[in-house]
Structure 1
Amino acid sequence: MKNIITLSFILISVSLSYGQETYRAADKVFEKMQYLDAAKMYESKLSKGDYSKELLEKAGDAHYFNTDMAKANKWYDILISDYLNEVDAEYIFRYAHTLQGIGENNAAKKWMKIFAKRAKQNDKRIEDHSEGDVVLENVLSIKPQFRLQNLSINTRNSDFGPMYYKNKLVYSSALDSSYYHERIYNWNNQPYLSFYLGRINAVETDVKFIEEFSENINTKYHEATLAFSPDNQKVYFTRNNYIDELGRDDDGVNHLKLYSAELSVDTLSRTKRKEWRNIKELPFNSENYSVGHPTVSKDGKKLYFVSDMPGTIGATDIFVVDILEDDTYSTPKNLGSKVNTSGREMFPYITNNSLYFASDGHIGLGGLDVFESALTSETFQKPTNLGAPLNSQLDDFSFIIKEKENIGFVCSNREGGKGDDDIYSFERFKAITPVKVEDCQQFVKGYVSNSKTGERIPDATVTLYNEKDVKLSQTQSRINGDYAFNFDLGCSKKHYIKVEKNGYNPNQKIFVTSSISSETIVPLDIETIDELIVEDNGLLKIKIGIIYFDLDKFFIRDDSASELNKIVVLMTKYPKMVINIESHTDSRSKDDYNLELSNNRAQATKNYIISKGISANRINNATGFGETQLINKCSNGVSCTEAQHQLNRRSEFIILKI
């Protein structure tokens, strides 16, 4: 889940050593929750060979907090391999979560056990994860109880936090500017979140956009997740700590707060339309911690919410207060260790019978899973995972339900959605007992490699199908090219695997599972769509001869022009290709001069390509880096030959889109 309402809680729970001088610029970006930009900056350091423990942690975290489990796994995998005895137990837990997120449940169980041995004894998660095999197998074997359908209101951005309002649905969305003004926040370059109103269709399987929920409640920053009193005359909602500008604590963190508003007639309006007014902060808000994600009991006497306030067991916990007379409230009470864990408990929804909530601290399938805690004599029972397909390998949350009708809504950033977080309608039905198949377990694994060079290929999408073309599972190849499916195929069965990656020709391979061993090994190979395209440190680049520049010059030489013409031909062949141009100098001359010179060289290169008929908008950026990214030892003060210095006077062409 990549929305700021969730992750502003997470940030507070991170207690890492983000302060070394080497990474200070990237750390500042991370602390502002601009995770995509921070990840690029950390990975730039990694590409230069800095595989320190601290940098691997940072790179993994930047993707983990942006819920990109495949990329987080890539860096955590190296971290755990190189620094297992040095890392904090929390990183073993995160690593195991990313393994679940890419479908490697067997490996996840192993690492959850190791986490249980390494974690502090007061960590609630130990109880669940010390017997990871048994508990996770129980979750995986839960019989399906839900049928999901993606809603038409979902956009390319984040849509989540649904709540019933009369016969309609209020939800939060980073709706784009085709409807309303757009203010972009730097987390993932999406508009700010606001509340919108939708009409639920007759069978409650879809929702149609109506209008903005309330101009009085929506501001230019974030509003998300809300709950109504039983008579729908009062609303509780989550908002950034905001008055005229975003408020921040001493560490620069903008926390969340809970607010209430009352429905009253607009006496100044000719239509006498009711509007939400009298907006108030709730008294247990703070400048130093976050409070949000409200839900109100059906009798209107209790308000449940999420916070990381003092007394929290984990990263975020669920609390409750009594709603008293005269708009007052009791002291917040933690729901305790039966519900809350050392991880995150979020997005509660209370009914007369149960508390539903999302958690990554209880055993799940990966990311946040939805759990149900039955309410018996005012006591919450041990939570149960609601299983697949409601839960997935990624984040599943914001569950609401009409229990009598067994219908409701849930949110997820699972694959196959329309954008970031999507809202799904669901029908809950009686679990169906699956037909028993032959007792023969068979799993498939292998690796992805370049068909010409033999080089292992990471981050390729590997999809498993049966012989009837039904998609069974999907995963990403790891940093060493390995892949594996935790999906029992049965023995002597015909299947096929498709492998795809941007910049490569897709390929597929048919295989028949073994009838002898428990595993079938299926190597996969792919090749780039053109021999000029290569992969370098996870980036696709156009590999041509070095674009040479004379010392202190930035004009295009004849020998360089012949190489640049290859790029023109390639971009003409692939008309959707978009590139970045990066230009570099050697270390001679002053740093500022070299930076300006390299910028001039990048622009000259760009202008040459454009002059040959390539549209300017297909060159996303042309940037000079001066002497900041030397490819050899020839830094300031080091004696080198002219040929060695020449190697640093280069241009690189990075493919962003094909």
Structure 2
Amino acid sequence: MKALKTNIIAFVLLLSCTLSAQLQYNDADVNFENMMYVRAARQYESMVRKGDKSKHVLQRLGDSYFYNTNMKNAAKWYAVLFSKYENVLDPEYIFRYVHALQGTGDYVLSKAIMKIYKQKLEKSGFTVEQLKDNDEKMDELLNRQPQFYVSNLSINTSVSDFGTTYYKDKIVFSSSRDSLKLETRVYEWNRQPYLDFFVADANDLGFDLDNVVSFSSILNTRYHEAGATFSPEGDVMYFTRNNFTNQNLGRDKDGVNHLKIYTSELKNGKWTEATEVSFNSENYSVGQPAMSPDGSKLYFVSDMPSSLGGTDIYVVDVDDSGNFSTPRNLGPAINTSAREMFPFVTEEKLYFASDGHLGFGGLDVFESEFGNDGFGLPNNLGKPLNSNKDDFAYIVNESTQRGYFSSNRAGGKGDDDIYSFRRMEETCEQTVKGSIVRTANAQPIVNVEVALCAEDGTPLANTVTDPYGAFHFDMTLDCESNYVIKTKKEGFKSGQGNLETSKEKDLENNVALEMTKELNKLIVQEDGVLKIKIDNIYFDVNKSEIRPDAAQELNKIVEVMKEYPNMVIKIEAHTDSRGSDRYNETLSDKRAKATGNYIVSQGIEDNRIESAIGYGEKQLLNQCANGVKCSQEEHNLNRRSEFIIVKLN
């Protein structure tokens, strides 16, 4: 399986590998660093057969297959690597091992690996949805109803054909078919010819392409060209190409050949010589341009230093003169610590490929809707459009829901193939059930009146909870709609929860709600701090003993803490400014500790009182400091005990 990464990583974003070369592996390492992965894999396997199972050799052997999307062999050698060096491996290798397993269809073991290394991943900062503890989400994705009809195109060859884009009434794509060259030049990454642009007619049914010819002898060169997009008028083209000058590859200080975006104009029926865009760099790659339908924005992919992961999607504004703004990263809603690639934009959505969001293995296609607050949560388009191999370069006509994508899945004609698709139209309905528990102790509440309402408050259905605190409604809900669930029971504070249904057909929403007793009116928020608010407690002059009237108020604290068995508080005692500062601090501290001791004596565990400290006159609530004449009422305002909630649940 040489796969998309052959072309996606090798061609569309050739990323430098960061593992350091070692002298004893010089020849293999040179091939690896030059991305000649087929040749490097053979050399590293030879070392293993001779007994060298060092971390360096096993990592690079697994990586050689991984970068060439030979997931069967990648999983094999990553397994050996983990068996010997699991405690000293970077978190990125967990990600690669999981993807290699998914690429072979072994979802059971891949989920087990995710669980085993969940804590290590969380500590590392290598965060991707794919590696989170998400059994339920993965099962839902595997069981989701198909939304697409897909078909392999007749124009595919035994080598790479991928990356379609719309051009007027035709389709432009990239291919290694090398049909116009007298002398075939081979790219050492995957032992295939370099990529060129071709153009084809879309037949009337939209399910196939025909009449394939070379797109432009001016733009096709001896190195890679792919990932094209066009202005709305079709007279300006942006595309990706190896960085080269005078027919020689340009390399950075580490010897890496990066990719650049080039542009060309159609003049007198011919494309002009390509020129670079202004945001290219000699030190990192940019590629896979995708123009917005109105031509005002150009999206692209890069591994520039501001990237969140391997490759991220960026955007620049394009003015009327064709000038570009500073690139902007689309942010963590879209980009992950892994790879996001192949953007395509319509007026409604952003489509892209990713191996960082939850998927089936390899690259999957996702969609994200444009909203007032940015991009919505990416949605995996599911099977059969996505597979356990690489699926990418999705383009669609939103009005017909027909389009094309590329994949190296099993059953194709060669390496990467182009597929057509039609997305099914379907009604979308969901159901809802839920449970209601007491906030204090998570115990179910029986006979709660539960009302399902529309977003504007219109009642839709009613029910009551059973002895287990559970409820459900028989009616179905519309997808992508907002609802309100209201709760009511005597002795409890009425409440409500919001439900926003997703796009997923036949999903059963499970809503967990809580209700609190009226007692919770004692819990207030002051200046952003949660407190238990009771009437002030008083002490005899110069005393710290708890008086009966103070005990009556403190019993309210005890009652609230018993209602919330996980609640932790801290006690602060304060005085007015009369008396010396030191005396006031000492007296208030005694009173704070006496207050805490009383609460513990009433059955509250002492570890639920984090601290009991007297602050004297350090935290006055008004101007009545030393030497300021104040009334008795003003001084009384500063004489107080406060019960601050440190932990509620």
TM-score of the superposed pair, with normalisation by structure 2: 0.63
**One-letter code of the match for 2:389?**
L
Choose the corresponding residue for 1:259, options 251, 257, 262. 262
Query: Are the structure 2 counterparts of residues 316 and 415 from structure 1 closer, same or farther at C-alpha, using a change threshold of 3 Å?
Result: same
The equivalent of 2:184 in structure 1 is 182
Q: Say which SS state the counterpart of residue 346 (structure 1) adopts.
A: strand
Distance 1:222 1:379 in 2: 34
1:22–1:432 CA distance, 2 compared to 1 (3 A): farther
SS class of match (2:264): strand
- Which residue of 225, 237, 240 corresponds with 2:239? 237
Change in Cα spacing, 1:162 to 1:235, as seen in structure 2 (3 Å) is same
- SS across alignment from 2:362: coil
Comparing 308-317 and 132-141, the one that deviates more: 132-141
> What's 2:606 paired with?
none
1:139 Cα offset (Å): 1.8
Two-structure CA RMSD over aligned residues (Å):
1.9
Query: Match for residue 208 of structure 2?
Result: 206
Q: Give the alignment of 1:566-605 within 5 angstroms.
A: none
2:349 corresponds to:
354
Map 1:211-610 → 2, pairs under 5 A? 211-244=213-246, 245-265=248-268, 274-277=269-272, 279-377=274-372, 379-430=374-425
Identify the range of structure 1 (232-241 vs 178-187) with the bigger mean alpha-carbon deviation.
178-187
Code of the residue aligned with 1:262 in structure 2: it is E
2:172 match? 170
Separation in structure 1 between the aligned mates of residue 11 and residue 18 of structure 2, nearest angstrom? 14
Note the C-alpha offset of 1:378: 6.4
Residue 134 of structure 1 deviates from its aligned partner by 2.1
Deviation at 1:56, TM superposition (A): 0.9
- Point out the structure with max Rg over C-alpha: 2
1:36 aligned to 2:38? yes
Which deviations, in whole Å up to 9, do the C-alpha atoms of 1:83-133 show, x marking residues without a partner?
A: 211211111111111110111101111212334321264736355533231
Aligned to 1:604: none
Moved more, 94-103 or 120-129: 120-129
Residue aligned with 1:218, SS:
coil
Counterpart for residue 155 of structure 2: 153
- 2:376 is matched by which residue type in structure 1? Q
CA shift digits 1:186-225 (9 cap, x unpaired): 1111111000011111101111133110111111111001
What is the CA distance between 1:11 and its match in structure 2?
A: 5.5
Q: Which residue of 2 aligns with 1:20?
A: 22
Q: In the TM superposition, what whole-angstrom CA distance separates every residue of 1:309-342 from its partner, at most 9, and x where no partner exists?
A: 1210000000000001322110000000000000
Contact 1:169/1:199 (8 A) holds in 2 = yes
Residue 416 of structure 1: how far off its partner (Å) = 0.5
CA distance in 1, matches of 2:331, 2:283: 22
CA contact (8 A) 1:149 1:205 kept: yes
Per the alignment, in what secondary structure is the counterpart of residue 44 of structure 2? helix
Instruction: Name stretches of at least 5 consecutive residues in structure 1 with no aligned partner.
Output: 266-273, 434-658
Equivalence for 1:655: none
Aligned partner of 1:72 in structure 2 is 74
Q: Distance in 2 between matches of 1:9 and 1:234?
A: 20
The answer to whether the Cα contact below 8 Å between 1:110 and 1:132 also exists between their aligned partners in 2 is: no
CA distance in 1, matches of 2:130, 2:166: 34
Shift in CA distance, 95/133, structure 1 to aligned 2, threshold 3 Å = same
- d(CA) in 1 for partners of 2:14 and 2:202? 35
2 CA distance for matches of 1:93 and 1:134?
A: 19
Amino acid corresponding to residue 318 of structure 2 in structure 1: I
Q: Distance in 2 between matches of 1:22 and 1:112?
A: 34
Write the distance in 2 (CA, Å) between the matches of 1:126 and 1:38: 29
* CA–CA separation in structure 2 for the residues paired with 1:238 and 1:130: 33
Q: Counterparts of 1:139 and 1:215 in 2: how far apart (Å)?
A: 44
Residue 12 of structure 1 and its aligned partner are, at CA, apart by 2.9
Q: Which position in structure 2 is the counterpart of 1:527?
A: none
Partner residue of 1:91 out of 90, 93, 96? 93
d(CA) in 2 for partners of 1:415, 1:127 = 25
> Structure 1, residues 517-568: CA drift from partner, whole Å, max 9, x if none?
xxxxxxxxxxxxxxxxxxxxxxxxxxxxxxxxxxxxxxxxxxxxxxxxxxxx
Aligned residue for 2:351, secondary structure, equals strand
Could you say if the C-alpha distance between residues 209 and 99 of structure 1 is closer, same or farther in structure 2, counting changes exceeding 3 Å? same
- For the Cα contact (< 8 Å) 1:364–1:385, is it kept in 2? yes
Distance 1:11 1:279 in 2: 20
Counterpart code for 1:276: W
Residue 6 (structure 1) aligns with: 9
